Structure 1
Amino acid sequence: MPQNKPLGIVLAGGRSRRFGHDKALAILPQQTQPNVVLAVQKLLPLTAKVFIAANRDNVNALRQLFAETPQVQVCVDQPEFLDCGPLGGLFAVTAQHPMCRSYLMLATDYPYLPVTVLEQLAEKTRRFIQTPVQAHYTLAHFYTDHATVRHFLTSGQQRLQTFIINQADCQPLLVPDSAGLINLNQNPEQ
């Protein structure tokens, strides 16, 4: 584990169109807690603090859920960049700490992700998870600042892949393919 722990980001502000209802607050079969709680529990031991990137629809529920957890802060999408996907969430989070920071990011789309994958990612900066068959850009460890995210978004770009590779200069961290890396968008019946 690095001496200076990164800040954690849980991406929980998606519209969940393919899933059908809010993925962050969903409790899947064989789970006792919502996906967002599982994500926070995985990130807390690896990070200095966890920021949850929420949207206007789930921000109140998320704030209530974590009201008694001081090391977790819920941030809502900013009016300037609403509906900009994960980068809108990253913009809201980096507004809390505008200077360059190390971030360890996890989307609520991966409720079955083994903690060992996050531990590997926490050990290496400027990396995103990649299996032999797929890149997972919402599972990344990178450096950025608020101005960089703002500049990227104001230039009209919204693709997380482009940001992670070109702006954050991340390389793949190869891990074996596993059921824990199935994104809920790929298999919403889980």
Structure 2
Amino acid sequence: MRILGAILAGGRSRRFGSDKALAVVDDAMLIDRVHAALMPQVEARVICGRSWRDWPSLVDRPEPGLGPLGGLNAALHHALDQGMDGVLSVAVDIDPLPADLRVRLAGDRPRTLLRQHALGYWPAALAPALDRHMASGARSIRSWIEACGAELHDDAGLGLRNINRPSDLDGDR
């Protein structure tokens, strides 16, 4: 199974007050930590919603500024165009990223974590369905989870934290 890793990194970081992808945890920026954890789990990777270094990047689909679902849509279409089986999506603000995320989520149907919906596996064949879903005006990953019938995988005990405010950097891990 060939999987594209998609780092969803196009958020505005309003609650954080600055670009949280560049926030430092254990001497590394969040974006670099997510990248390092994702790379061994996928055959290729893209960053969605921004440009960063020389990494391949995608603009949200169908237009810029649509948040995580727009980034996921762009990644699904890219995976389909590249002949990949699916997309393993990760949010730039989830730390630490599980080293076995692919094993937990990848399969023949969509699957996401119960509490961290941006961490999910999405078969590339869903790209046209996500286009239709977004054309209806839907913009939330939760609405997409329901629409595509994604399974929810329990993430209790994984120690994941969502970095939304600077104080979240100091929380227990």
Verify same fold: TM over 0.5: yes
Alignment of 1:142 with 2:126, yes or no, is no
2:76/2:122 contact within 8 Å kept: no
Cα distance change, pair 85–157 in 1 and its aligned pair in 2 (3 A): same
Alignment of 1:188 with 2:166, yes or no, is yes
Q: Could you tell me which residue of structure 2 aligns to residue 120 of structure 1?
A: 104
**1:163, 1:129 → 2: CA distance?**
13
| Structure 1 position 139, deviation (Å) | 0.9
Aligned AA (2:75): V
**1:140, 1:83 → 2: CA distance?**
20
**2:68, 2:17 → 1: CA distance?**
18
Cα distance change, pair 87–50 in 1 and its aligned pair in 2 (3 A): same
Moved more, 98-107 or 157-166: 98-107
| Structure 1 position 112, deviation (Å) | 2.0
Cα distance change, pair 152–105 in 1 and its aligned pair in 2 (3 A): same
Alignment of 1:22 with 2:23, yes or no, is no
| Cα RMSD for the two superposed structures | 2.3
1:126/1:142 contact within 8 Å kept: yes
Moved over 3 A (4+): 97-101, 116-119, 122-125
Q: Could you tell me which residue of structure 2 aligns to residue 157 of structure 1?
A: 138
Task: Note the alpha carbon deviations across 1:132-160, whole angstroms, 9 max, x for none.
Answer: xxx21101112144322222111111011
Aligned AA (1:104): L
Cα distance change, pair 109–150 in 1 and its aligned pair in 2 (3 A): same
**1:112, 1:76 → 2: CA distance?**
25
TM-score, structure 1 as length reference: 0.75
**2:60, 2:116 → 1: CA distance?**
22
Counterpart mapping for 1:168-179 below 5 A = 169-178=149-158
Q: Could you tell me which residue of structure 2 aligns to residue 109 of structure 1?
A: 93
Length, aligned pairs only: 165
| Structure 1 position 97, deviation (Å) | 3.6
1:129/1:174 contact within 8 Å kept: yes
Cα distance change, pair 109–15 in 1 and its aligned pair in 2 (3 A): same
Which of residues 15, 34, 39 in structure 2 aligns to 1:39?
A: 34
Q: Structure 1 vs Structure 2: percent identity of aligned residues? A: 28
Alignment of 1:75 with 2:58, yes or no, is yes
TM-score, structure 2 as length reference: 0.82
Q: Could you tell me which residue of structure 1 aligns to residue 68 of structure 2?
A: 86
**2:160, 2:8 → 1: CA distance?**
16
1:129/1:173 contact within 8 Å kept: yes
